[in-house]
Amino acid sequence: MSRYKILDLPTYLQNDLGRMFFEEEIASGYHMQIQPIFKRDGLYLDRLCGGKGEYQGNVKHAKLCWVEYDNGTKAALYEVKMFRHELGLENHRPLSIKERGAIMTLIQGGLASKQLKELYYLDTQWRDLRNIKRDTRK
C-alpha cells in the first residue's frame, strides 16, 4: 500500500475566486500554511502519520492531510474529513433516474435510512459538480 493517497486539486481551488477565498481562510487561521512537499497541485493524505502530528510552537498540528496549489508553490493543511468527502465524490457511481426517484420517494415518506439520505445527497453533489465542470468548458 502506498503511503500517500493523492487526489486532483479540488474544483474550487482551480479558479482565482476559489483560491482567493481559500487564502482568506489561511489568513484568518482556519487553515495553516506549510511548505509544499511534492511541489505539484493536488490533495494529499499521509496514511502512515496516524494522526500523531507535529508541534509548531506550542500548537500540535496533525500533518495528515494537506493541499498544494498554484502549480505546487503554495500548500496548507487540510481537514481529513474534507479529503474523505472529495474521495467519495471521485469514487461515486452515479445513481440511475429510477434509483434517484425511489430514494426520493422514501425520503419524502420519512422511511429512508441515514445511509440512503447520504447517498442521495452525495449523488446530488456529484451531479452538480459534473454540471459545473461541463458549463465551464463551453
Give the pLDDT confidence of 68-118 residue by residue, as tens digits: 999 999 999 888 888 888 888 888 999 999 999 999 999 999 999 999 999
Domain limits of the chain? Answer: 4-80, 92-136
Phi (first) and psi of residue 68, to 5 degrees: -115, 135
Describe the chain by its helix, strand, coil percentages, rounded to 5.
45, 20, 35
In this predicted structure, which of 30-39, 60-69, 110-119 has the lowest mean pLDDT?
60-69
Which DSSP helix (H) or strand (E) runs through 6? Answer: strand 4-7
